[in-house]
Every structure is written in C-alpha cells, then in structure tokens.
Amino acid sequence: MMKKLTTTLFIIGISIAAFAQETVSMQVNAKADKDKISRFIYGHFAEHLGRCIYDGFYLEDSTMNVPKQGRIRMDIVSALKTINIPLLRWPGGCFADRYHWSDGIGPKDKRPLRINSTWGMVPEDNSFGTDEFLQLCNLLNCEPYIAGNVGTGTPQQMSDWIEYLNFGGKSALADMRRANGHADPYKVAFWGVGNESWGCGGDMTPEYYADLYKRYAAFCLNYPGAPLKKIMSGANADDYNWTEVSMKNVRPNQMWGYSMHYYTIVNNWQHKGSATNFNEEEYFKGLKSCLHIEDLINKHSAIMDKYDPQKKVSLCVDEWGIWTDPEPGTNGAFLYQQNSLRDALIAASSLNIFNKHCDRIRMANLAQTVNVLQALVLTQKEKMVLTPTYYIFDLYKYHQDATLLPVSFFSPDYKYGEESIPAVNASASKDSNGVIHITLVNIDPKNKITINTSFNGAAFKTAEGQVLTSANFTDINTFDNPNKVKPAAFSDFKKNGNELSINLPPMSATLITLK
C-alpha cells in the first residue's frame, strides 16, 4: 500500500512540475551609461520587388481613394511615422546591382521602360526613382540609405549619383537636380557600396570585392556639409572568411559600416515553410533559427575586433527577418507572405539581441517594409493592414537612441522533443528623460514565466505595461479582421519597493515603462 501511494505521489509530482510556473531573477544595471542603442537599429528596407514599391508605397492607380501625396500612399507614411521609422534602405537588395539611377530621374514620360530581371521579369517603368525616394524619406522624416550599383555599374556612375544628390554648387549634375525640382542638395549620408557581392551582386570572391570596394569608395566623394557613411557589402550568415578578408584588406577609416545578412528559415531554402499553416515543431524551429543570429553576431564581431578593437566600424544587419514560402495563389517571385504572432516574436527577439550588441551593431534593416517578406504593412487595393511585426516596432520604438541598461538572468528552457532554446530574452534602456523601458519576450507557447526584477542604481514610482500576444502562434491580422493581434494594456505585475515581479504570458512580447 505504501509503495502504491509513493508511486501515486511521484506521478502527481511530475504532473505538477510539468505545469509549474517558472520564476526568473533578473537584474537591471541602471548605472550603465556606456552604450547607446542607435535608432538606426530600427531601420527598414524597400526594394523594387513585387508589391513593395509599386502597389505598396507608390500607387499604380493614382485615382485610388486613399490619402496620397502625388502617388505616395500617405496612410502607409502615417503608420510608419507612428513607429518613428529612422531609416529606409533602397533600391535593393539584389535589384540594386542592376539599377541605373539615371533611368529614374527627370520627366516620367521620358524615363526608359526596363525589365526587372531580378524579380519576376516584370516591367519597370522607373516612375519611382531617386527624387521620389527622397520625397518619401522626407515625408517619413527618416534618413535615406542608398545601395549603389557595383554589379553592373561603374565608379563613375556612383560618383555621379552622389554628386547629383549632395553637391550644392554649380555643376551639370547639380543643375540637373535643380531642374528636376530640388534646389538644395539632399545630403544623403548612408551609401552601400554594392549588395551581396558574394552572390546576386556579382558572385565575387572576398579578395576581389575588397579591392573593388576600395576603388569605388575612393570615388564616393564628401561634398561640403555632406560627409558619407560608406557601408561595405559583408558576409552572408556564417561566412566568417568573408569578414576576415574584408577587415584585413580594408582599413576601418575606409568604411562606416560592414553589412551582414541573415534570414530566419524554418526548414530549408527550397521548402521554407508556410507563413500561416504550421505546427509547434515548425514554430520551435523558427524561433531556434532566429536566435542563431546571436551566434553569428558574436563570431563576426570577434573577427572585427581583431582589426578594429575600438569598434569604429558598425556591423550593419541590413537584411534580416523570417523568410517563408510565398502565399498560395500569388506570384512566387514577389515574395508576398502573411505575418503571424510567431513572426512578431522573431522580430522582438531579434531586436533584443541587436540592442544587447549595440556597441558594434549600429544599423539593422528589416526585410521588407510593405507587401514583401516580413512586412510591417500589407495592402489590398484601398485596404491596409498592420501586421503583428508592425506592433513590435511600435512597442520597441522607445529604445531608439536610449542608453542601454545591461540585464542579467538565467532563462528557463523552452523544450520541444529532445531540443531546447532559451524561453526568455530581454533588453532595457533609459531615455533622455530618465524613463526606463524593458522589453521582454516569452517564446514558450504554453507556460507563463515570472520575472522578478531588481534594479541597480534606479528607483521608480510608477510602472505601466503593454503586451502583444494572442491565442495561437499562427494568428494573423487580415483585411477582414485587422485587429486580431494587437497590443493591449498589461497589468500582471507587482511593485514591491524597488523591485518588480512580472508575469509574462505564454508566447508574448511585453513592454514595461518605469518612471
């Protein structure tokens, strides 16, 4: 009888343990004042790809009944201004190394019709060109980031493009800009010298590209009041040799930034997985793939530290996000995918990682802004829907240009089968008014996790919270139900003196604001 009772209690104990709520102790170092989280970590990317530019930012049908300025959709502009979009990268992507800027200036009826041979062999009428892009950035109140053509262009063409945009004196190119409606120089600072030069940008070796970068960069001139921030085309994911060769052959003072591209892939490049129809195994694999970016950052940063110990060069993650199979029934070359709660947690976790490494990462651009890959905005004629990922950027916007406050804790595991990954990730910052913002992610889809938080060097009187979660990790916002996944007020926390106990819901991203 005793043996049976013991066995019963043992089984009950296992059952209770399986559903026990984990408790984590977290310390926030509010005395830290060393590193700033650059606002450019919250940048975005718009390529001439599918419906990102045309039928996205830029109306193909100018009679469409939406707010607009010229052909620019102002409802999209308004939504992006709400999240304080700091930077927009254009015109690519792979498209950049086939794009000739002179095709996209001057009267629209004189601009040549080309073929977008990079994305779907569709017509490119060049109606959205340099001046339209700079008009968009002005409306967004964000910095432009132009990716220059190294693949099929020449140093002369890139040099001319910069003169057209940045020279305030008298010259044929500056006068051409004035004739096209912009008297003052645009003073564009951020310039990518090529894109993915290891692949679609020319299939180059790192040794060849390093020499080519120096040649192009030498003719990218600083005009009065318009110094350039030149960005070298860096590694694809775990190509550490590319970083080694690049940093060895190009001096830190020859570049502002060095790029790295990494996409979250659930399965493999041939069968990436559905954006909406996936199970917990695929959910787990997606989050595991997302978190792997920190391993890449650590290893690339270690190589950069050998040649740039003062961290003068920014590691720019200027393409990142989840890449799934295109939505059924759409043009596969247009890379249109839906956006779920899972994708929002991938965005939130990635941003927490970028914040943590802000001593080296000073730019990151989510791919892409509208209607392509992990988009913030989806459109269907006059309709517009904000995705779960959009709301992550709304919650996280308070970190922009704030001081990083290091956090330390041991995360419990989220286990699936024989594998496990950390269930919790977080970042904290203090803004110029002394307000502390903490963003916390619980990727465990079943278990609530309590975070007992203490603060070294800070006291607060009030605490407020917002949370993004939903009933299922496959939940999405649609044109018929646009508010299914949206932030809500969050109050499941307790203040005890100068400590805070926060109960994170399963599969959630939470913002805590302390004043």
Length of the chain: 515
Q: Shortest CA distance to 468 belongs to which of 428, 507, 437, 513?
A: 507
Question: Phi and psi dihedrals of 420, rounded to 5?
Answer: -150, 150
Q: What is the residue whose two structure tokens read 């599969």?
A: 507
Nearest to 271 by CA among 330, 319, 326, 320: 326
Q: Minimal CA–CA distance to 58: which of 100, 104, 120?
A: 104
Q: Which residues pair with 35 in a beta bridge?
A: none
**Sign of the Cα pseudo-torsion (487, 488, 489, 494, in order):** negative
Rounded to whole angstroms, how far apart are CA atoms 402 and 414? 30
CA distance 260 to 239: 9
Q: How far apart are CA 377 and CA 369, in angstroms?
A: 7
**DSSP one-letter code for 276:** S
Query: Catalytic site residues?
Result: 196, 319
Residue 342 DSSP SS3: helix
3-state secondary structure 90-154: ECCCHHHHHCCHHHHCCCHHHCCCEEECCCCCEEECCCCCHHHHHHHHHHHCCEEEEEECCCCCC
Phi, psi of 334 (to 5 degrees): -90, -10
Q: Tokens 């201004």 appear where? A: 81
Residue of 268, 287, 277 lying closest to 445 (CA atoms): 287
- Confirm if 326 and 460 have CB atoms less than 8 A apart: no
